[in-house]
Structure 1
Amino acid sequence: MTEEKEKLFFRYVSHIYLTDKSYESIGKSIKAVKLFLESDCQTSRKGYKEYIRRNAAELSDKPYIKDSLCEFLNYLGIGYSRSQKEKVVKPLEKLSIISDKNMKLLNEFVYYLTQDEDYSPHTLEIYSFSIKKYFEYANEVSVDNYKRFVKMMEKEGFSPQTIRLRITALERFSKWIKKPIELKRPKFNRKLNTENVPTESDYKKLLDYLYTRTNKDHYFFIKILATTGARVSEFFQLKWEDILNGEVTLKGKGNKYRRFFFSKQLQTEVKSYVKEQNKTGYVAVGKFGRLTQRGLCQSMKDWGDKCGIDKCKMHPHAFRHFFAKMYLKKNNDVVQLAEILGHGSIDTTRIYLQKSYDEQKREFNRSVTW
């Protein structure tokens, strides 16, 4: 890369980190632009066309690279758009039956994920269901079929969230069969229903109830979820020894590692409890062994009934939201919260800045006094 191109590259890297793209998208864009600048092609429309022509085979199933380069050229003021003549994509039509070959392939894929990847049962179910649905509409894996399958889902009115989940599964499957395909994901506005997040009053009421029960483990289940912001899959990996240690690094969503801290207050309470009850190993254990997500959710709804807390607030993820709201109340640092929660984009974290109906009403009445 020449000195002039190197300056352009570092300027662009500084710029792209100020956009609202996810860290994953930023990484892909930076890599695409770097490879383009390292080639002997000119930084111009003509150079772009030449680069695409030379690498046509490699770029055929990676549309994000072309998008990244066009964005780079637009940033430089050269201006280039790929949307001059968009190809009309026809949705797929349902087949009469899934072939034996594809059913065998699907089973082998699920077995591979079960044996070689650390996915949660819920994720495995989504992947299996998504690939099965794809094979109900297509016999072969190809870029064209993938796009047509997405078009079919859009035509049928599937939500952007569902389509994004299916695309993730399809991309993972294509990678496994060594025909990697990447697709554009539909955008959607992330919304948090702030009415379904426990309040401080709900939290204290629940802890008071669980503290007096015979099995005090349940008290710590809630306290750990509410003071760490852990996802349920991460919570199931925690051990009593981790809490006593004050921190632990775990593999979480997307096979990414992140560190969890435990408050001094929680450590003090747990230290006394594990000594008294001789507790070791995994925290999330019930009468019959390791807990399941369904079992924990059902127990939480039962506790909510006893305390008079709405069932919609009584599930593990609600206390991840509770943690985020409480953290922002004490320390209004969205960037730091994004790191603690393991979010790929700060936009995901900003949803926790939303206020509930009661909070809005209270602030309105306190402010509007004229």
Structure 2
Amino acid sequence: MNNDRQKILTDYISYLYTTGRTYDTVGKYIKYVTDFLERTEDVNRRGYLVYKRENADVMVRHSLMCSAICDLLSYLNIGYGKREKAVKPLEKLDVISDKNKKQLNDFIIWLTDNNDYSSHTVYIYYTSMKKYFEYANEVNMDNCRRFIKSLEEEKLSPATIRLRITAIERFSKWLKKPIELKRPKIKRKLDVNNVPTEEEYNRLLEYLKAKNNKDYYFFIKVLGTTGARLSEFQQFTWEDIISGEVVLKGKGNKYRRFFFQKTIQQEAKVYAKEYGKTGIFAVGRFGPITQRGFSQHLKAWGKHCGIDPRKMHAHAFRHFFAKMFLKKNKDVIQLADLLGHGSVDTTRIYLQKSYDEQKKDFNRNVTW
């Protein structure tokens, strides 16, 4: 690649990171655009058409290739104005074929035998592909697009359609005929009014610290200072907290590092030694805590402390951690890493302010 094209690529990559696309999508765009710039004779519409003909067999499986190159040309103001074809929805079939029933069964067996997916994820993949085979007999790009159109006409939410697409892509990889599909955009929104305030968080800690069994005091403090999801929190051990950090597998089978506050390390070390605490951290009276059991405790503690019950769920403390971190440090990129987000766009929702914060800022600043 010559210097001019290298500069085009560098500038385009910088632009990509401002678009709010996920890291995964950005990575694919960079890959496809780099290949185009290295192989095409002309960086224009004609060059794109020639490149498209030469790589038709690959592009038919990877719809993002066309999108990435067209996005580059659009960025360079020499865009290839692609007309969107009208997509017809699929009509529902009478029955699922025996062949597809067997494929679906084999796929589920493969998922459970060879992957570390949760039972919930496997169930979503199963129901998604079952739904797909109610409309189509073959997994190909045209059928997939028409299936998505059918879901849109059924008024399914963008989040549900994205789950269906993820299942189809996973299934197509299992078939060794990978397909990439465009996902509908979701406007991420956080109800910041349902996040505990710093004063409420401290009030809750004081209440739990005064109890004979201080385990729950540590639970809340760890949740509020790590931003861990409940599924990740359930993997922590007392030894992890005392050591100050741990690397665990979290959402999406991704590994990430958790750090623990020095004060928590010191408090946990003394407490664990005094009461013989070892092994799994999040254990209640009847064994490892469950989401339902922990939620019931939180509601009861919140009622005792005068905290709105809508703020009393485990994930609220992940939001609390994010809000507190941004209050001390405006580095959204670092927060995205700490929270294990795949896209900074997800993390930006924590920059929103609550109703009380907005009103206070308004009254302080609008004085003219």
TM-score calculated relative to the size of structure 2: 0.92
Check if 1:349 corresponds to 2:340: no
Q: Residues 120 and 233 of structure 1 are in contact (CA less than 8 Å); yes or no, is this contact kept in structure 2?
A: no
CA shift, 1:226, in A, is 0.8
CA distance in 2, matches of 1:212, 1:31: 56
* Corresponding letter in the other structure for 2:75: Y
Runs of 4+ aligned residues of structure 1 deviating over 4 Å after TM superposition are: none
Label 1:295 to 1:120 Cα distance change in 2 as closer, same or farther (>3 A): farther
Label 1:297 to 1:66 Cα distance change in 2 as closer, same or farther (>3 A): same
CA distance in 2, matches of 1:109, 1:311: 41
CA shift, 1:217, in A, is 2.1
Q: Which residue of 2 aligns with 1:68?
A: 68
Label 1:92 to 1:286 Cα distance change in 2 as closer, same or farther (>3 A): farther
CA shift, 1:320, in A, is 0.6
Q: Which residue of 1 aligns with 2:30?
A: 30
Superimposed CA distance per residue, residues 85-115 of structure 1 (whole angstroms, 9 cap, x where no aligned partner): x222222233344444434433433333333
Label 1:158 to 1:118 Cα distance change in 2 as closer, same or farther (>3 A): same
CA shift, 1:25, in A, is 1.6
Q: Residues 64 and 184 of structure 1 are in contact (CA less than 8 Å); yes or no, is this contact kept in structure 2?
A: yes
Q: Which structure 1 segments of 5+ residues have no match?
A: none
CA distance in 1, matches of 2:249, 2:309: 29
Q: Which residue of 2 aligns with 1:193?
A: 191
Pick from 146, 149, 153: which aligns with 1:148? 146
* Corresponding letter in the other structure for 1:237: Q
CA distance in 2, matches of 1:131, 1:287: 40
CA distance in 2, matches of 1:369, 1:7: 47
Q: Which residues in structure 2 correspond to 1:249-260 (within 5 Å)?
A: 249-260=247-258
What is the root-mean-square deviation of aligned Cα atoms in Å?
Answer: 2.2
Q: Which residue of 2 aligns with 1:340?
A: 338
Q: Residues 61 and 177 of structure 2 are in contact (CA less than 8 Å); yes or no, is this contact kept in structure 1?
A: no
Q: Which residues in structure 2 correspond to 1:152-171 (within 5 Å)?
A: 152-171=150-169
* Corresponding letter in the other structure for 1:177: L
Pick from 275, 278, 283: which aligns with 1:277? 275
Superimposed CA distance per residue, residues 217-248 of structure 1 (whole angstroms, 9 cap, x where no aligned partner): 22222111110011122212212111111111
Q: Which residue of 2 aligns with 1:310?
A: 308
Label 1:201 to 1:103 Cα distance change in 2 as closer, same or farther (>3 A): farther
CA shift, 1:353, in A, is 1.3
Q: Which structure 2 segments of 5+ residues have no match?
A: none
Q: Residues 238 and 279 of structure 2 are in contact (CA less than 8 Å); yes or no, is this contact kept in structure 1?
A: yes
Q: Which residue of 1 aligns with 2:115?
A: 117
* Corresponding letter in the other structure for 2:58: E
Check if 1:364 corresponds to 2:362: yes
Superimposed CA distance per residue, residues 334-363 of structure 1 (whole angstroms, 9 cap, x where no aligned partner): 222122112222221111111111222233
Q: Which residue of 2 aligns with 1:54?
A: 54
Q: Which residue of 2 aligns with 1:224?
A: 222
CA distance in 2, matches of 1:113, 1:14: 37
* Corresponding letter in the other structure for 2:255: Y
Q: Residues 41 and 48 of structure 1 are in contact (CA less than 8 Å); yes or no, is this contact kept in structure 2?
A: no
